[in-house]
Chains A and B, each alone.
Chain A
Amino acid sequence: MSQAEAVEQGGAIEGAGKAGKVREAREARKVSPLWTFGLLRSELLTTFRRWRTLALLAVLAAVPILVGIAVKIETGDGGSTGGGGPQGGGPAFISQITNNGLFLVFTALAATLPFFLPMAIGVIAGDAIAGEANAGTLRYLLVAPAGRTRLLLTKYATTMAFCLVATLVVAVSALTVGALLFPLGDLTTISGTRISFAEGLGRALLIALVVAASLIGVAALGLFVSTLTNSGIAAMATTVGLLITIQILDQIPQLHAIQPYFFSHYWLSFADLMREPVYWDDLVKNLGIQALYAAVFGSAAWARFTAKDVTA
């Protein structure tokens, strides 16, 4: 017994000596200033390599194809789709598609913005933290140590990158289908003036960016919900559920006093970019609401996530 103890103590002392040397060797390890981008890159790669992400993007790409084909079939006999007065935002564009394929971009964005796009964002944002917690990978990222604030910022940046990519997928798909099925050329704005095709393309890009920015609020909301639970599915369902609830409440006239504070209230204001001159009021209100949601729910997510016991 005493022999065993002697051996053990000898080992411990020798080990401690070596530990000292090893420690000196490692003290030099410094934090690389660019590592945050390394984490962001890793996060983007991980998100965009998932089949689920690609499936969501495929669904979004399919919407303009369906709309384009439907319009083509409907007007195959040379007639016009008719209807579609100037009321509301998007639907006004649909009657113009047969004259100019570029209008398919506006129509597709107007068709996907109320539901398809925010639903996809809800899935990505809701799964951001909760999904990692559910898989257990969150604890390994945190002991790596990724840092809670940095991980959260990385997740939010990735979600916003997805907003942009998702919107661009819809726009590019719509432009491609529009160019294939319909003529392209100068176009008429909502105000009745004519602008060149190049300027129309510029407006389309601007609209895509505004649509992507319109999703910032949902992304922040989804991320906050994601920090509340360890179940990715629950977080996604809650986010999408909130989205639908808000959309319904936005249709109830009695609630008009609070409706301007709904994140979706000014979504279709992007159509104002097709006026001449551009009508900025609602666009600015929309971006303001998105910034407000990002600030409120971003802070809430940060407060929750940095104080949370990670038990999954």
Chain B
Amino acid sequence: MEELPAAEADGAGPAGPVDQAGLAGPTDQVGPVGLADRTGQAGDLADTVIATRALTKRYRGGQLAVDGLDLTVPAGSVFGFLGPNGSGKTTTIRMLMGLIEPTAGTARVLGQPMPRAARAVLPHVGALIEGPALYGFLSGRDNLIRYDAADPTADPRTRRTRVATALDRVGLTAAGGKKAKAYSLGMKQRLGLAAALLQPRRLLVLDEPTNGLDPQGMREIRALIRELASDGTTVFLSSHLLDEIEQVCTHAAVMAQGRLITQGAVADLAAGTRGRLVVTTPDTGDAARVLKEQGAGDVVITDDRVTAEQPPDRDLADVNAALVTAGVRVRGFGVERASLEDAFVALTGEGFDVAG
């Protein structure tokens, strides 16, 4: 509430509707409501699991890792956190988990300020941060027992059963007695996930959870994430695998060079770039001419493919009929749906490369 003036100033920036929402709502909800509206999500403070305001981290060397981040994660969502390596994802996650003190701005997790309320918030949060970390000289089971003992809300009486359940959930029951140093990367990743699942959680923060897993393991983890989400757990999933985000996430945010580029529902993000009309034909010259006549813009010919923007006021069936009437031999005709990757490239204007 103390950052109200700043929040109002920020909210007034982008657009009219945001401003109005801010004025209409109760004053202490200005920030989150404004942000939620911008992402097309109706919601109030209680339905926001993570909310950051102008969150900034400058490391001692002067490097600006995170720059004025306004992130809103709605409750119950599977939230994809995208960005190239070095874009500030992990720094953000560490600030949300109270491991790093922000240079400026605020972060609220489960409605409470971080890192101040860490002891109240973190028992409800399961986290996998920058890969698993284990005690190599302890067995997988003893690793989980150790992490569980560090949680002040964990009941020691149910510890063994909860550990066994968590191991079972990630498919490690058989390997639970093995020393963790003998685990493969995939098994370590699973054990890290098991540690995040020791208690029922309201929020799961998973930093590249499928890293090091084989395709079968990736599928299992995705199924597990969907299962958890359907139980009402909010999942905050960072990844650099775009198709992974597309497969499991309802919402996504994109970061590049410490800044938030966009956030919102995955469907909306992909819709930002419209699908392109693709015609496969040996008569590319004729096809291009007909498409232009039909009102399609940005016609591009590559080998035996002609791609163009969809004509805004024409039924695609008519476009196809026009092609055939003009004697164009059509092998294939269709619309290539825009993927999140296209959206990403359109947003960043660059490939998915490491920031320099």
Query: Which residues on A are within 8 Å of B, measured CB to CB?
Result: 1, 4-5, 8-9, 11-23, 25-26, 29-32, 34-36, 38-39, 41-42, 46, 49-51, 135-137, 139-147, 151, 307, 309-311
Interface residues on B, range: 35 or more
**Could you say which residues of chain A place their CB within 8 Å of the CB of B47?**
16
**24 A–B contacts, CB within 8 A, in A order:** A11-B76, A11-B250, A19-B75, A21-B232, A22-B231, A22-B232, A26-B124, A26-B202, A35-B153, A38-B156, A41-B149, A42-B149, A46-B146, A135-B135, A136-B132, A141-B147, A143-B129, A144-B147, A144-B151, A145-B152, A146-B150, A146-B151, A146-B152, A147-B119
Would you give the 0/1 interface string for B139-178, flagging 1 where the beta carbon is closer than 8 Å to chain A? 0000001111111111110000000000000000000000
A3 to chain B, nearest CB (A): 9
Indicate if B306 sits at the interface (CB-CB under 8 A).
no
Q: Is B84 on the interface with A (CB-CB < 8 A)?
A: no
Question: How far is A4 from B148 in the complex, measured between Cα atoms in Å?
Answer: 39
Contact with A along B243-278 (1 / 0, CB 8 A): 000000010000000000000011110010000000
CA distance A15 to B249 in the complex (A): 13
Q: A11-B250, A15-B75, A143-B127 are in contact. Are A137 and B232 (CB under 8 A)?
A: no
Query: From A3, which residue of chain B is reached at the shortest CB distance?
Result: B267
Q: Give chain A nearest CB distance to B212 CB in angstroms.
A: 14
In the complex with contacts A15-B230, A26-B202, A5-B268 CB distance below 8 A: yes
Interface of A is mostly: helix
Contacts of A146 in B (CB 8 A): 150-152
Q: How far is the CB of A176 from chain B (nearest CB, A)?
A: 29
Q: Is the CB of A49 within 8 A of B250?
A: no
Known contacts A19-B75, A23-B202: does B233 contact A46 (CB below 8 Å)?
A: no
Give the docked Cα–Cα distance between A54 and B129 (Å): 31
Given contacts A12-B74, A141-B147, contact A311 B123 (CB under 8 A): no
Given known A-B contacts A31-B153, A41-B149, A147-B119, A142 and B74 have beta carbons under 8 A apart: no
In the complex, what residues of B have CB within 8 A of residue A137's CB? 133-135
User: Which residues on the A side are within 8 Å of B234 (C-beta)?
Assistant: 15, 19
Structural contact, A50 and B232, CB atoms closer than 8 A:
no
Known pairs A5-B267, A12-B76; A143 contacts B98 (CB<8 A)? yes
Please, which residues of chain A bring their CB within 8 A of the CB of B137? 49-51
| A174 to B: closest C-beta gap in Å | 29
List of B residues within 8 angstroms of A13 by Cβ: 76
**Known contacts A15-B232, A20-B232, A29-B123; can you find 14 more A-B pairs with CB under 8 A?**
A4-B267, A12-B77, A22-B232, A29-B199, A32-B153, A136-B133, A137-B133, A140-B129, A140-B147, A143-B127, A144-B150, A146-B151, A309-B94, A311-B94
For A147, list chain B residues within 8 Å (CB): 119, 152
Instruction: Give the CA-CA distance A46 to B150 in the complex, in Å.
Output: 12
Question: Are B75's CB and A31's CB within 8 A?
Answer: no
Q: Is the CB of A145 within 8 A of B202?
A: no
Contact status of A309 and B99, CB under 8 A, knowing A12-B77, A26-B124: yes
In the complex, A42→B97 CA distance in Å? 23
Q: Which of B26-75 contact A (CB under 8 A)?
A: 41, 47, 74-75
Complex interface: chain A residues within 8 A of B136 (CB): 135
Contact B100 A311, beta carbon cutoff 8 Å = yes
B151 adjacent to A145 (CB under 8 Å): yes
Asked if B265 contacts A26 (CB within 8 A), the reply is no
Contact for B149 among A20, A39, A142, CB less than 8 A: A39
Contact of A19 among B98, B134, B153, B202 (CB under 8 A): B202
B250 touches A14 (CB 8 A): no
- CB pair B231–A18 under 8 Å, yes or no, is yes
Q: Which residues of A contact B125 (CB under 8 A)?
A: 143
Q: Is the CB of A32 within 8 A of B152?
A: yes
**What are the residues of chain B within 8 A of A16 when measuring CB–CB?**
47, 74-76, 232
A18-B267 contact given A141-B147, A145-B152, CB 8 Å threshold: no
Q: Is there an interface contact between B152 and A31, defined as CB atoms closer than 8 Å?
A: yes
Q: Once the chains are docked, how many angstroms separate the CA of A49 from the CA of B180?
A: 14
Is B138 close to A, CB under 8 A?
Answer: yes
Residues of B within 8 A of A20 (CB): 232
Q: Which residues of B contact A17 (CB under 8 A)?
A: 76, 232
* Closest residue of B by beta carbon distance from A9: B265
Asked if B227 is at the interface of the complex by the 8 Å CB criterion, the answer is no
8 Å CB interface, B88-130 against A: 94, 97-101, 118-119, 122-125, 127, 129-130
Which B residue sits closest to A15, measured CB to CB? B76
User: Which listed residue (B129, B146, B150, B250) contacts A8, Cβ 8 A?
Assistant: B250
Shortest Cβ gap from B109 to chain A (Å)? 11
